[in-house]
Structure 1
Amino acid sequence: MKYQIIPVTPFQQNCSVIWCKETLEAAVIDPGGDKDRIMTEVKKLGLTLTKILLTHGHIDHVGAAQALAQQVNIPIIGPHKEDKFWLDSLPSQSKNFGFPEVAPFMPQQYLQDGESVVVGKQTLQVLHCPGHTPGHVIFYHQAMKMAWVGDVLFRSSIGRTDFPKSNHDDLIHSITQKLWPLGNDTQFIPGHGPMSTFAEERLHNPFVADELLD
């Protein structure tokens, strides 16, 4: 599997185009905005977009999902159903964060912990990782040792837990009990900022370093 990170929205959210090298079938993870920029990149890469994958329901991750899905006639998959209230609140999120208004929508499929999503001949494992939002999921590609973690974990930081239905203890549990078992050599693409590895965060992250949590 290959990927291309496309920072979108004024929040510079890391939207990712991922694709199967064999079939050139692709998915977009977290198209928060800038739909035309995303589609320009998809076309430049010669890919066929087949689905949209969402980690959670915050507008900077889902703002362009419905428009993109309608343009290409593809399904929206994810997040977990516990984030339905975030998708229902997209008009108020638009106002609160200064985004163009986005209408509520329902994905064609909510995701559960332990499910998988197929892109071409590649498979992503789905892990439910609540805390930042109650319905947050992450996508993990085992062969690449790569995880798309949304706003669960960042380089040297973790997701905010001051939103409605956020929970700090749940977030720490998701990181230590869902992400760390994937292996220290796992690279991850966060929702914002640079990539890192779980090994690096276990050593140096001031919120979840092993020495802090022992």
Structure 2
Amino acid sequence: MEVKQLSLGPLGTNCYILHDKKQAMIVDPGGDAERLKSYIREEGLKPIAILLTHAHFDHIGAVEDISKEHNLEVYLHREEHQWLKDPMLNGSKLFGVTAPITTSEADHELNEGSLTIANWTFEVFHTPGHSPGSVSFVFENDGFVIAGDTLFQGGIGRTDLPNGNHNQLINSITQKLFTLDDETIVYPGHGPETTVGFEKQNNPFF
């Protein structure tokens, strides 16, 4: 599996395109739909699903456009299904850095455990704290995790936003993400990639 990162939307959210040079899963299309469409077209990829680590506005800005363009189903934790339709819950009305965002309902509820989409099987970790429905996607055989806004290089996700919980966030990282192999690459929602081992040793929050 190959991982392509694009920085999209008003806050430079990391969108990840996971692909095998043919089919692709899109994680957190935060905005700039035309740029994302161009990449998909230029690479000759066939998108098959949209995965959301959580439903804050900067992670969902291009969901409606991309899902309709490619007839894609959207996967999101059940705790945040209402956020897609509510600009107050997803923060787009609260922050005012973009027009209020509403999208269609998600097609699938993400739950902790194994998930298979097409030829790919991976683990979903429920990692609340930054938001109640935050999840991380663990591709153990490929040696990486997409952690959304839970863990960053040298930092952790904000918990001062509505529905944030600092203790939950710390538990999500220490009890789940830090159980992965130290060599596991962490692809965060913002900023550069890191590894589990590096964050265990160097992250000032631990």
1:143-191 superposed Cα distances (whole Å, 9 cap, x missing partner)? 1110000000000000000122211111011001110111111001100
Match of 2:137 in 1: 139
Q: Distance in 2 between matches of 1:45 and 1:91?
A: 36
Match of 1:40 in 2: 38
**What secondary structure is seen at the aligned counterpart in 2 of 1:115?**
strand
Q: Distance in 2 between matches of 1:25 and 1:104?
A: 24
Q: Distance in 2 between matches of 1:174 and 1:64?
A: 27
Q: Which runs of 5+ in 1 are unaligned?
A: 209-214
**What secondary structure is seen at the aligned counterpart in 1 of 2:10?**
coil
Match of 2:100 in 1: 101
What is the one-letter code of the residue matched to 1:64?
A
Q: Distance in 2 between matches of 1:121 and 1:111?
A: 18
1:29-82 superposed Cα distances (whole Å, 9 cap, x missing partner)? 00010111111111111110111000001010011112211111110111x111
- Sequence identity percentage: 37
Deviation at 1:131, TM superposition (A): 0.5
What is the one-letter code of the residue matched to 1:84?
H
Match of 1:83 in 2: 80
Whether the 8 Å contact between 1:13 and 1:60 is mirrored in structure 2 is yes
Q: Distance in 1 between matches of 2:33 and 2:125?
A: 26
Match of 1:12 in 2: 12
Show the 5 A alignment for 1:125-164: 125-164=123-162
Q: State the TM-score, normalized to the length of structure 2.
A: 0.94
Q: Distance in 1 between matches of 2:87 and 2:23?
A: 29
* Length, aligned pairs only: 204
Aligned: 1:60 with 2:54 = no
What is the one-letter code of the residue matched to 1:50?
I
Match of 2:179 in 1: 181
Deviation at 1:91, TM superposition (A): 6.0
**What secondary structure is seen at the aligned counterpart in 2 of 1:44?**
helix
1:29 alignment partner, one of 27, 30, 34: 27
Tell me the C-alpha RMSD between the 2 structures: 1.5
**What secondary structure is seen at the aligned counterpart in 2 of 1:143?**
helix
1:109-138 superposed Cα distances (whole Å, 9 cap, x missing partner)? 0100113142x4222211110100000111
